[in-house]
Structure 1
Amino acid sequence: MNVQNVTKSKIDSAPAVVDEICPAGEAWVKVVKKGQLFRIVDLEGNQAVDTLFYNACDALERYSATDTIRRQNKLYLTTGSKLYSNLGNVMLTIVADTCGRHDTVGGACAAESNTVRYGLEKFPMHSCRDSFLHALAHEPICEQLGMSKRDIPSNINFFMNVPVTEHGRLMFSDGVSAPGKYVEMKAEMDVVVLISNCPQLNNPCNAYNPTPIQLLVWDMA
């Protein structure tokens, strides 16, 4: 597997305006303003971080996997990748990445998909879709924007390894991340970040051991 464009950040010495931990299986929601830098840190390695982005002024504009893949002709995200909205606007740009590869097509685990893939007994298990739905129903930012389950598009899976076979099938494989690896983005507009820190226990996307992540935001003068 080709891991590409590993690039370290230049702002490690600067104080962050947001520095928070999101436990495994929990949601995290925050507004990141235009020009700010936003970093996700894989604290213990091989965690999968399901992430959605929305225009902070109008949630009808949101991250589009289709536009992001088509405009750059690449399935995987890394340094230099631009995250496009469904209106064709650049929402964020990846400016640093020490993992080197992030998934755009694997989607979020759900009770239904867990049941189909792993058996009927898996239906009650917590999923990323559950985390997204809980945040949309209870987070003030989401309530102010009038968001609901209809506002869950295809997501990014930061740090997750989903190879595509020659026959177009997806494989959920061991992660390529490690403790302390991070991905850092510059916001090109005010965005709402909605994260589900994946609780998946049925495939190796997080080594069958969900772990916490760190979220940091910097102001850039």
Structure 2
Amino acid sequence: MRCCGAGGAVSRTRTTRARNMRLFPKIGQSICADDEEAMLTLIEDTSAGPHGLLVPPCDPTMYRLRGAGCAHASCHDNFHRALARKGIRLGRTPSSICLFQNIIVDEAGAVAIGVNTSKAGDRLTFRIDRDLVLVISACPNDVFKRPPLQPTDLEITIDTAEAG
């Protein structure tokens, strides 16, 4: 998941981590933009977590370096294709907001993707804090044959009810 807001602002994971002093926001904390303003605020998380803000989106270069060729589908390309359908072109790709991804940082500081701990029915609820375009991509990564990659269906619900 990545966000684009008015004026070309995009979600920025390093700003989000620094502002919240956490690897992923807890209830009441926000996903922030590169202009330092909140884009989404986490209202509810029924999962065991964790979620990740450390892994970049897969892209053609990553696949090429791992022998899959440049034509492999990627989160990077999915993001830009989705924006293009809305007439939006960005010169950069924001970092991924990896929901339900078990990012592990060990004592030595090494980062790994662990086995997913979410289960059917787990959900996150965000409040949208500004006008934005939200792009959600099911990661097409089929190159890394390891147990943590367990893609499952994801249901997205957007409640447009006005507060008040």
Over residues 116-154 of structure 1, what are the superposed CA-to-partner deviations in whole Å (9 max), with x where a residue is unaligned?
3xx3146543221121122133x12xx1xx423x23111
Secondary structure of the residue that 1:215 maps to in structure 2? coil
The total of aligned residue pairs comes to 159
Q: Determine helix, strand or coil for the equivalent of 1:214.
A: coil
Q: Secondary structure at the match of 1:83?
A: strand
Q: Give ranges in structure 1 of 5+ residues lacking alignment.
A: 1-50
The residue number in structure 2 matching 1:216 is: 157
Structure-1-length-normalised TM-score: 0.65
Aligned sequence identity (%): 25
Q: Does residue 52 of the first structure (1) align with residue 8 of the second (2)?
A: no
Is the 1:175–1:204 Cα contact (8 Å) retained in structure 2?
no
Question: Which whole-Å CA distance do the structure 2 matches of 1:106 and 1:169 have between them?
Answer: 12
Partner of 1:206: 149
Taking the aligned partners of 2:118 and 2:162, their CA distance within structure 1 comes to: 27
Q: TM-score, normalised by structure 2?
A: 0.85
CA deviation after TM superposition for structure 1 residue 155, in Å: 1.8
8 A contact 2:31–2:39 mirrored in 1: yes
CA–CA separation in structure 2 for the residues paired with 1:166 and 1:123: 35
1:147 and 2:70 equivalent?
no
Please report the RMSD computed on the Cα atoms of aligned residues, expressed in angstroms: 1.9
Contact 1:172 1:204 in 2 (8 A): no
Tell me the equivalent position of 2:100. 159
SS of 1:71 mapped into structure 2: helix
Task: Report the residue type matching 1:130 in the other structure.
Answer: D
> Cα distance, 1:87 vs. partner?
1.1
Unaligned 5+ runs, structure 2: none
Give 1:103 deviation, angstroms. 0.3
Aligned amino acid, residue 147 of structure 1 = R
Looking at both structures, which has the greater relative contact order when contacts are Cα pairs under 8 Å and sequence separation is at least 6?
1
